[in-house]
Amino acid sequence: MTSHLYLMRHGQTLFNALERIQGWSDSPLTELGIEQAQMAADYFKAQGLTFDSYYSSTSERASDTLEIVAGVTSYTRLKGLKEMNFGNFEGQQEYLHPPRQVRRAVGNYYVVHGGESDEEVARRVHTTITHILEENDGKTILAVSHAGAIMHFLNSIGVDVESMGFFPSNCCIFDLSFEKGAFTLHGMIDPVKGEIFEYLGDLT
């Protein structure tokens, strides 16, 4: 049977507003972040979407977002959905990140600084999401994760949103389905701007 996954990023946090690197470190949602989560909730309600199960990363910013969006307190928190570990860069100003093309070319830039490699993050998140969907065959799932984690997962299924000039904004939603071990990305939804992007690419 086909399972459906709505995979979304958390709302704006204090570290987002301060432009600080936020991986395994955490910070609370801002007032704007709370408003963004409510906009996502309004989008799902307007679409008549309901969910059979709910998941979030173990980071507070993700679980708080999920509780606002879904209006539930009973859900599963998984470390596998956490953001990339940036090692010694955690909590530092975002301008200390090397250029994206350098990070992508190296692939393990953060490993030497005590963090994770791109491959490790992609494998961790892909394994976690696959397990979620295999356990929820034929069901509709809402999961809240993080921008970097989501981008690495999408890369693992053959979607390079970065090359498309697309970056997951706060509370951005990815509409995916899963059947016979294969993922299909249908589109990206920005409930804050009220924009929907249909994905027409090939995942093979």
Catalytic, 83? Answer yes
Candidates 10, 126, 146, 152; catalytic one: 10
Q: Bridge-partner residues for 13, per DSSP?
A: 29
Query: Rounded to whole angstroms, how far apart are CA atoms 119 and 111?
Result: 11
Helix (H/G/I), strand (E/B), else coil: 192: coil
User: Sheet harboring 3-9: ordered strands across?
Assistant: 76-78, 53-57, 140-145, 3-9, 173-179, 182-190, 195-198
Candidates 4, 83, 146, 152; catalytic one: 83
Catalytic, 10? Answer yes
Catalytic residue numbers, as ranges: 10, 83
